[in-house]
Every structure is written in C-alpha cells, then in structure tokens.
Amino acid sequence: MPPVAVTCWGLLVQRALRWRARGIQSPEELPIEARRKDSEARAAFAVWHRSSVVRPQLQPVGEACVLCGLITSSWCKSCEVACTSNPAFEASAVCSVCDQDAHLVCHLCQERGLVYPDVNHELFEITGIGRPDGQR
C-alpha cells in the first residue's frame, strides 16, 4: 500500500468558496461528471462531503479524491505502480468509484501519459484515521 498524499484542505476551501459564489447549485446535488470536469465544483463537493457526511457519522477521515472529491482512503493505481520503483513517491487519492468503476487515473498520471494499469489487484478496504487539520 503506497502512502497517500494529504489533501490541502485550505486550498479546497478557497476553491469551494469561489464555486459557491457562482451560485450554481448545492454541492451535494453535483453529479460526478460535473465534479470531474470542474475543480471548484469538486472542491465544493469535497468540503461538503467531509463536513456533512463523513464527520457527523464519526467515520475515519480520509483524503479527497482528486478526480471527484469523494472522501476516500484509496489511491491511484498508476501511482501505486510508480511507488514500487520510488519509495519516496506519494500516491494521489482516487476513490473506488473513479478507480474500479471508471478505471481512471489521477491528473498527474494522466499528464505523464499513464493509463489504468492492467494488473491484478485484490479488492480490500482501507480506513485511515486522520485529524481535522489534515495530519495523521
């Protein structure tokens, strides 16, 4: 399991505020495709999901999926492959919806021309404990 990069919540809150100022719709109503296309919409959804869904249920805090904003403890499978050759590399957070269902990789891997790896991954769930300030 690779180390997952910590979400920069301060930056996401700033982007979420810009998105809210546009007054389009409530973050919880945003479809996943809209969140994947718009970084401010993704940030608004991530901030809403973390404060309204994850925290009140006392679930462990994970990181925001870099593709859709869903709080997760999963990671980009292409990053995972990169981590095997470079132990200092941190994987981007990518939720199971974007990973397993859509076979997407993070923006950094997309920019490097990497695609969803054709490797056999066992399905398992990881829960990570995080603090509200983003520290572990």
Strand partners, 91: 4
**For residue 133, is pLDDT > 60?**
no
Percent of the chain with pLDDT over 70: 80
| pTM of the shown model | 0.79
Measured CA distances, 6 to 25, 78, 118, 122 (Å): 27, 17, 26, 24
Banded model confidence at residue 124, pLDDT cuts 50, 70, 90: very low
Residues 87-112: tens digit of each pLDDT: 778 899 999 999 888 889 999 888 98
pLDDT of residue 127: 46
Residues with Cβ < 8 Å from 16, sequence gap 6 or more?
Answer: 27, 40, 43, 44, 46, 47, 48
Q: Which stretches within the chain are classed as H helix?
A: 9-22, 32-37, 39-48, 77-85, 96, 107-111
Is the model's pLDDT at 41 over the cut of 90?
yes
Which amino acid, residue 9? W
